[in-house]
Amino acid sequence: MSISLSSPLGAIKGVGEATEKKFRRLGVCTVWDLLTFFPVRLEDRRAEKKIADLRDGETVCVTANVFTPVEGRPTRNGQTVYHATLRDESGFLPVVFFNNRFIKNMLIKGRDYTFYGKVSASSGRLELTNPEFEPAGRELFNKSVVPVYHSTAGLSQRVIRRAALAALELAGDALPETLPPSLRREYNLCSLAFAIREIHFPRDMENAEIARRRLVFEEFFILQTALRGRKLMNRVASPHVFADLDFSPFTGLLPYALTGAQRRVLGEIAEDLGSGRPMSRLVQGDVGCGKTVIAAAAMYLAVKNGCQAAMMAPTEILAAQHCEGLAPLFARLGIPCRLITGSLTKKRKAEISEALLSGEIKVLFGTHAIIQEGVRFRNLALAVTDEQHRFGVRQRGTLSAKGEEPHVLAMTATPIPRSLALVMYGDMDVSSVDELPPGRQRIDTFCVDEGMRERINAFIAREAAKGRQAYVVCSAIEDGPSADVKAAVSRAEALRSALPGISVGLLHGRMKNAEKDAVMADFAAGKISVLVSTTVIEVGVNVPNATMMIIENAERFGLSQLHQLRGRVGRGGHKSYCVLFAGNLSEATLERMKIMVQSGDGLKIAEKDLELRGPGEFFGSRQHGLPELKIASLATDMDVLKESGAAAARILKDDPYLEKEENFYLKGRIEEFFKDKKDFMA
């Protein structure tokens, strides 16, 4: 009997309606979903021991006879513990099951079974606790390498394994080969049918690794082929080919010299703008590295070549800061610019739109208001997004749609590991501003516990007396069930009591935008000395006078987030400090905090963050709309990522639209891979 890969799970013998419903909770709805529901780990149950050789704490396979019948004994808490004694030629072993009333009918006295479980010492003797077992000689899973899957309530590992085994037996031969034969030969990859079977039920661990490598390669290959394919599709002829690529009239007005990194990135941008194809470039770099000036120089080129430019920022205050900071510079170059935000009146927005359409306004700064339907440009040639990850794919696409194939420049201050950048921004070219302007001092970073609270408060007071300012960042807004978590509201109250005469402000996500902007404006103006905030200040204004960043419950933040928060200080000429209050000083927390104390390199910190937490917790994967990887790891599979990227580039060079017969199934897998990612494919 054979079934289709798209058949519902109910087509598999033994999967009833109730079980099918539980599988759906895991996102497993079809036979193909089940075959690609990969194990999270494998258990090697091949090692078998005699009872006399067992040791406390080990997990092993034992084949033994049920020497005594199963008997239940009630406990004080109302549960029932079931006991029996096992025997082999080397000795006897008690076996214990908790609250399993069916066990008396499942384990028959006098019969031989193969047990797999943990050996533990109880009252001076060893016993086997809650083992899995099968009739000796008829083992499906014991005495072999078995998969362990993510599960859900009411869905046991045994049920999942049996369903996966049945699916393989019914549909294993129906698996179409996705990768072209030449590619498999070049990279020494096994067939898809072999990989699917051996990832679930491998003959040995070596086969499991061969299978995993094939599946990791394929997952990365499909993802990168799709991303690079989209980049190729973007390489249409550009209607905006800039002939004048001289930045010097703009950079000559700056009160400082550009860093080498800034000059290098500007060169890359100039090459894009004169290439005859639309630019799609991401500029990444730490807070304060000078990305905004790079974007402004690109906007200057757009205007110099007879076009318009727009920069979209995630908050009104940040958009206003960009406009206020660059407007005087643009004015000296004769470039009219305006700011558009959601708080403007309908009449004022209409006036700006009219001036844009007439070509009077050359540069527009703004928030999401830029992409509103009524805002129209005469000739938008450059679309810039600041803090790229704060916008969804569709929002960025809407900005680009305001012009005819405009050049796209995105900026982010969140350091992105190279492996993650290859996947997240595979459809963009990536530039790194890896050099800070001269004069930026290292931010001294300390990890402390609650015992340092009074000394840190005193330090805040001394800095405030000098006219300096401090951020205090909390992970929660209000107090919750855990007394260990410092919340912004209560922390602000505590600081007002501890620091009399010092202005303490409060900022969090539940406040209205106008309230948040007013608080940030007061802090930027120096009216507030200490700003207690949640991570809404992660994307904030430039406050050169802020010299202290205090982060409560630092263990609750990712390393990259801690680094970005730290970058909010040290932006002026004053010595700056970052204090990490860590409530949970576990070994893992200490390792993470040590990295922050010792390193100021955002990229190295991001690489370590990815290694420790994995890509699922990294900001961009969900925000970017990319599919979740089922088996590949951006933290540990970098070599395979590079190989698959090179393979994707070669395939697309030979067959850009995957029209060849050998790429038929590959094209289908790409479409299947992204079927629920409309924003991504838009």
Per-residue pLDDT for 638 more than 90? no
Please give the average per-residue pLDDT across 226-249, as a whole number: 78
Helix intervals (H) in 404-529:
418-424, 453-465, 488-498, 513-524
* pLDDT (0 to 100) of residue 416: 72
Please give the average per-residue pLDDT across 307-325, as a whole number: 88
* pLDDT (0 to 100) of residue 1: 46
Enumerate the CATH 3.40.50.300 domain ranges in the chain, comma separated. Answer: 248-275+289-412, 444-599
pLDDT digits (tens, 9 = 90+) for 90-102: 999 999 999 888 8
Helix axes 587-598, 559-566, angle to 10 degrees: 40
Per-residue pLDDT for 620 more than 50? no
pLDDT digits (tens, 9 = 90+) for 458-475: 999 999 999 999 999 998
Amino acid identity of residue 175, one-letter, is L
pLDDT digits (tens, 9 = 90+) for 7-57: 899 889 889 999 999 999 999 999 999 999 999 999 999 989 999 999 999
Question: How many other CB atoms are there within 10 angstroms of residue 169's CB atom?
Answer: 14
pLDDT-based confidence at residue 623 (cuts at 50, 70, 90): very low
Per-residue pLDDT for 399 more than 60? yes
Please give the average per-residue pLDDT across 420-424, as a whole number: 67
Per-residue pLDDT for 86 more than 50? yes
| Burial degree of 323 (CB within 10 A; 0-12, 13-18, 19+) | buried
CATH topology of domain 47-143: OB fold (Dihydrolipoamide Acetyltransferase, E2P) (2.40.50)
| HEC string for 577-621 | EEEEECCCCCHHHHHHHHHHHHCCCHHHHHHHHHHHHCHHHCCHH
- Kindly state the tokens that stand for 234: 């973007």
Q: Could you say which DSSP state residue 354 is in?
A: H
**Radius of gyration for the chain, computed over Cα atoms and rounded to the nearest angstrom:** 31
Residues 419 and 252 sit within 8 Å (Cβ to Cβ) = no
* pLDDT (0 to 100) of residue 53: 95
- Report the C-alpha gap between 177 and 663 in whole angstroms: 10
Residues 141 and 161 sit within 8 Å (Cβ to Cβ) = yes
Pairing assessment for the beta strands 308-312 and 469-473 based on DSSP bridges: unpaired
pLDDT-based confidence at residue 561 (cuts at 50, 70, 90): confident
- Kindly state the tokens that stand for 11: 């087509």
Pairing assessment for the beta strands 280-284 and 407-412 based on DSSP bridges: parallel
- Report the C-alpha gap between 495 and 510 in whole angstroms: 21
- Report the C-alpha gap between 79 and 251 in whole angstroms: 77
- Identify the helix (H) or strand (E) that includes residue 326: helix 316-332
Mean pLDDT taken over the chain? 86
Pairing assessment for the beta strands 80-88 and 91-98 based on DSSP bridges: antiparallel
> Among 118-127, 254-263, 512-521, 614-623, which stretch is predicted with the lowest mean pLDDT?
614-623
pLDDT-based confidence at residue 214 (cuts at 50, 70, 90): very high
Residues above pLDDT 70, as percent of the chain: 90
pLDDT-based confidence at residue 236 (cuts at 50, 70, 90): low
Pick 680 or 89 by higher pLDDT.
89
DSSP letters along 630-662, please? SS--TTT-HHHHHHHHHHHHHHHHH-TT--SGG
Per-residue pLDDT for 531 more than 80? yes
The CATH-assigned architecture of domain 248-275+289-412 is 3-Layer(aba) Sandwich (3.40)
Question: How many other CB atoms are there within 10 angstroms of residue 25's CB atom?
Answer: 12
pLDDT-based confidence at residue 681 (cuts at 50, 70, 90): very low
* pLDDT (0 to 100) of residue 616: 52
Enumerate the CATH 2.40.50.140 domain ranges in the chain, comma separated. Answer: 47-143
* pLDDT (0 to 100) of residue 481: 61
Residues 31 and 164 sit within 8 Å (Cβ to Cβ) = no
Torsion angle of alpha carbons 49, 50, 51, 52, nearest 10°? -110
Q: Is the dihedral of CA 25, 27, 33, 35 positive or negative?
A: negative
pLDDT-based confidence at residue 435 (cuts at 50, 70, 90): confident
Q: Is the dihedral of CA 596, 599, 605, 607 positive or negative?
A: negative
CATH 3.40.50.300 is right for the domain spanning 444-599: yes
Per-residue pLDDT for 183 more than 80? yes
Torsion angle of alpha carbons 207, 212, 215, 221, nearest 10°? -120
- Kindly state the tokens that stand for 245: 């690529």
Residues 504 and 492 sit within 8 Å (Cβ to Cβ) = yes
Return all residues near 399 (Cβ < 8 A) that are at least 6 apart.
310, 312, 370, 371, 383, 385
- Report the C-alpha gap between 299 and 309 in whole angstroms: 6
Per-residue pLDDT for 677 more than 80? no
- Report the C-alpha gap between 60 and 117 in whole angstroms: 6
Separation in Å, CA 35 to CA 40, 159, 266, 646: 14, 14, 48, 27
> Among 13-17, 268-272, 325-329, 635-639, which stretch is predicted with the lowest mean pLDDT?
635-639
Per-residue pLDDT for 324 more than 70? yes
Pick 392 or 79 by higher pLDDT.
79
Per-residue pLDDT for 621 more than 60? no
> Among 17-31, 53-67, 233-247, 631-645, which stretch is predicted with the lowest mean pLDDT?
233-247
Residues 11 and 31 sit within 8 Å (Cβ to Cβ) = yes
* pTM for the whole structure: 0.66
> Among 67-71, 336-340, 456-460, 666-670, which stretch is predicted with the lowest mean pLDDT?
666-670
Per-residue pLDDT for 618 more than 60? no
* pLDDT (0 to 100) of residue 67: 96
* pLDDT (0 to 100) of residue 627: 63
